[in-house]
Structures are given as structure tokens and as C-alpha cells.
Amino acid sequence: MNKIIIGVVVVVVVAVGGYMYFQKDKSLPSVTVLTDGGNVQVEVRPVSTTTQQGPAGSGYTLAEVATHATKSDCYTAVRGSVYDLTSWIGQHPGGAKAIEGLCGKDGTDAFVKKHGGQDKQEQTLVTFKIGELVR
């Protein structure tokens, strides 16, 4: 039964993603399908080339990023941009701890040291961007 539900969810998400792609922002959704004891949870997160800003469109300060320092609410800053990595924690191939260590901090040094210049990792990071870091 779960496989059927997951299949239906994937078809719907792909259809919605196709529709979104042909809209003005040309974005595709990021999808996470989780199963837990027979329950199916689907997280659909739009990926956009436009960024959201913190309060009053001003961007995010490092103090604001620091208020998102848990695995259930994880923001980090890398090279002047702010990313919400909450949904990535459980998916990170290097393990959750690697991402949890970036929550609420400027993670530039850690990210660049581990992944700097690697296209796949850079492109993955961009999908989690929510705004700019302001000083």
C-alpha cells in the first residue's frame, strides 16, 4: 500500500513540478518522502532562483541565523548567503552530524574546506538558499 501511495505522490509532485517549471520563475520543487511505521509524509519545498529576505526585506544578521541552531530548525551562512538546511540534515550523505555542526553559525570555512569548488555540492547548497547575510 505504501508503494502505491508513494508512487501517486511522486506522480503528483512531478506534475506540479512540471507546471511550476513552465511558470515565470522556472523553479522545480525539492521533494522528500518519508515513511514511518506505515505513515507516509511528503515534504515539497519549492526551489527558487529568487531569495527571500529576513525582517522587512533587510536580509538576515548572524544573530538571526544563530536563533536557528537546532536540528529541527537549522540555518547557516555560507559566503554571505543564508541557507535553511533543516530538511537536508537527515539526507546528507556525510551524516547528520556534519550539518548539525553548521546550525546557527557561519559555515563558510567548514563548507569550503569540505566541498568548495565541487559542482554537485555547490548546486545542492543553492537549493536551500533563503536570503542574504547582512552585517
Here the CATH number for the domain that contains residue 119 is 3.10.120.10
Q: What is the pTM of this model?
A: 0.60
Count of C-beta atoms within a 10 Å radius of residue 67: 12
Compute the distance between CA of residue 34 and CA of residue 41 in angstroms, rounded to an integer.
5
Q: What are the tens digits of pLDDT across the range 3-59?
A: 555 444 444 443 444 433 333 333 444 455 555 565 555 545 444 334 455 555 569
* Same domain assignment for residues 69 and 114: yes
* Same domain assignment for residues 31 and 72: no
Task: Answer whether residue 135 shows pLDDT above 50.
Answer: yes
* Same domain assignment for residues 59 and 42: no
* Same domain assignment for residues 84 and 101: yes
3-state secondary structure of 127: coil
More confident residue, 90 or 37: 90
